[in-house]
Structure 1
């Protein structure tokens, strides 16, 4: 334990699973998953290790739940009726806006997802889920190409990578408490997608 870590206090009340995860994901992002021991988490939470085990079986389970908060929200966007039916251009706009809003609302969780190295089975499973989401976005751009609403000089795979590259990069600079609201951020991203990728 470093000098900056608080001393663990046994039985500190006030934590449910979700509030614990907020502390856990902050630690994972600051220190890296591998470097964050259960002792570090216990100190940050002010709980004993045994108290943590009342909520989670292991550190790996914590990681799985944390990553699920990002991936489940993204899957919900892509599985919504607005993303699976209707004009393709509208479907693309819906999922891009939804992805931006998920990032803004669950930024610490998405940040951790984007930093995964695939070192554990949980991480590898999350990477596979993320790739499946990428594939859904790519499929939408393929449909847009086929119907003539994606610019003909842009490959759908490139369009997908450019779009998610722009969305994902916002974790490095966007501050939800700042002047730009999540909706304004989504509007700005959509303006770039419309201007650069969608055929007029």
Structure 2
């Protein structure tokens, strides 16, 4: 019997969900095969190893994120708006791309020394460098106070990477609210003039709208 089109994508999507729910170490190719009604050999035929499946997950996810951020940069110009956008995106991804977001966040150090993960590390560095650049631009333009931009970038991303541990998008708080709280905390400590914080941390404001649209557009493009 012929396998339906997109079978490889179905396997990978199931793998991503298992990693999000159980973690990489507890994700078993046999369980995935059983769930999808196929042999384990079919999965090996498509991907080779479980590690390759993780590499594809990480690389595809980072490319989607970077694509979305570039779209955001076209719509948002001020450094404080761009920093807010990065924060909102991290929260909204828990709805727009939930399984992949949780899977990548909980396995951020997995295969960190694997030579095959070089491209993933490069993409992660690129994302951090975009943050560094906006922090520097904000300082140089007199919008942000003087901070160690490298350290601040690590603090921002370090906080956002742990969101999967405690944030339940089906709970009482919506991702826009969580993002707004982070924006208030981050930009409240960066801005020399705190007056714009209320606008930037508005969960119903135009920045949130732009971020959501850019994330959805990037996800749709990558999925075609």
- Calculate the TM-score normalised by the size of structure 1: 0.76
Is residue 147 from structure 1 mapped to residue 138 from structure 2 by the alignment? no
Is residue 199 from structure 1 mapped to residue 192 from structure 2 by the alignment? yes
CA contact (8 A) 2:23 2:103 kept: no
Q: Which residue of 1 aligns with 2:155?
A: 162
Match of 1:124 among 90, 93, 118: 118
**Mean Cα displacement is larger for which, 81-90 or 122-131?**
81-90
Shift of residue 12, structure 1, vs aligned partner: 8.8
Cα gap change, 1:121 to 1:155, in 2 (>3 Å): same
State the distance in 2 between where 1:63 and 1:186 align.
27
State the distance in 1 between where 2:77 and 2:89 align.
16
State the distance in 1 between where 2:48 and 2:190 align.
44
Q: Which residue of 2 aligns with 1:175?
A: 168
Cα gap change, 1:179 to 1:22, in 2 (>3 Å): farther
Shift of residue 191, structure 1, vs aligned partner: 1.4
Q: Unpaired segments of 5 or more residues in structure 1?
A: 1-9
State the distance in 2 between where 1:122 and 1:180 align.
38
State the distance in 2 between where 1:39 and 1:135 align.
39
Q: Which residue of 1 aligns with 2:211?
A: none
**Mean Cα displacement is larger for which, 103-112 or 187-196?**
103-112
State the distance in 2 between where 1:126 and 1:85 align.
26
- Calculate the TM-score normalised by the size of structure 2: 0.69
Within-5 A mapping of 1:48-63: 48-52=39-43, 56-59=46-49, 60-63=51-54
Q: Which residue of 1 aligns with 2:200?
A: none
- What do residues 70-95 of structure 1 show as CA deviations (whole Å, max 9, x unaligned)? 21221023212536862222222223
Query: Number of residue pairs matched?
Result: 188
State the distance in 1 between where 2:169 and 2:103 align.
17
Q: Which residue of 1 aligns with 2:55?
A: 64
Match of 1:32 among 24, 31, 43: 24
More helix by proportion, 1 or 2?
2
Within-5 A mapping of 1:4-153: 16-29=7-20, 30-33=22-25, 36=27, 38-52=29-43, 56-59=46-49, 60-80=51-71, 82=73, 86-114=77-105, 115=107, 116-117=109-110, 118-152=112-146
Q: Which residue of 2 aligns with 1:5?
A: none
- What do residues 121-178 of structure 1 show as CA deviations (whole Å, max 9, x unaligned)? 33332122112211111111011111111122x2111221221122112111111222
